[in-house]
Chain A
Amino acid sequence: DGGITQSPKYLFRKEGQNVTLSCEQNLNHDAMYWYRQDPGQGLRLIYYSQIVNDFQKGDIAEGYSVSREKKESFPLTVTSAQKNPTAFYLCASSAGLAGADTQYFGPGTRLTVL
Chain B
Amino acid sequence: GENVEQHPSTLSVQEGDSAVIKCTYSDSASNYFPWYKQELGKRPQLIIDIRSNVGEKKDQRIAVTLNKTAKHFSLHITETQPEDSAVYFCAASKTTAGNKLTFGGGTRVLVKP
B44 CB contact (under 8 Å) in A41, A44, A101, A105: A105
A-side contacts of B104, CB under 8 Å = 42
**Chain A 20-47 interface 0/1 with B at a Cβ cutoff of 8 Å (1 = within):** 0000000000010100000011111100
With a 10 A CB-CB cut-off, give which of A42, A43, A99 has the most chain B CB atoms: A42
Interface residues on A, range: 20 to 34
Residue numbers of B with Cβ under 8 A of A are 1, 6, 32, 34, 36, 42-46, 49, 89, 93, 95-96, 98-106
Partner of A41, one of B32, B34, B36, B105: B105
Interchain nearest-CB distance for A28 vs B (Å): 16
Instruction: Point out the residues of chain B lying under 8 angstroms from A105, CB to CB.
Output: 36, 43-45
Contact status B100-A48, CB under 8 Å = yes
SS class of chain A's interface: helix, strand, loop or mixed?
A: loop
Task: State which residues 42-66 of A face B: CB under 8 Å.
Answer: 42-45, 48, 50, 56, 58-59
Min CB gap B66→A, angstroms:
16
Q: How far is the CB of A26 from chain B (nearest CB, A)?
A: 16
Contacts of A101 in B (CB 8 A): 32, 93, 95, 99
22 pairs from A and B in contact (CB 8 Å cutoff): A1-B45, A31-B99, A40-B106, A41-B106, A42-B6, A42-B89, A42-B103, A42-B105, A43-B103, A45-B101, A48-B98, A48-B100, A59-B1, A94-B99, A98-B95, A98-B96, A101-B32, A101-B99, A103-B46, A103-B101, A106-B43, A107-B43
* Cβ-closest chain B residue relative to A101: B99
Q: Which 5 A-B pairs have the closest CB atoms?
A: A42-B103, A105-B43, A101-B99, A43-B103, A42-B105
By a CB distance below 8 angstroms, the chain A residues around B99 are 31, 94, 96, 101, 103
Residue of A nearest to B89 (CB): A42
A111 contacts chain B at the CB level, 8 A cutoff: no
Chain B residue nearest to A95 in the complex (CB): B99
- A42 x B95 contact (CB < 8 A): no
Bound-complex Cα distance A5 to B37 (A): 19
Q: Which of A42, A58, A90 contacts B100 (CB 8 A)?
A: A58
A42–B106 touching, CB < 8 Å: yes
Contact with B along A70-114 (1 / 0, CB 8 A): 000000000000000000001000101011011111111000000
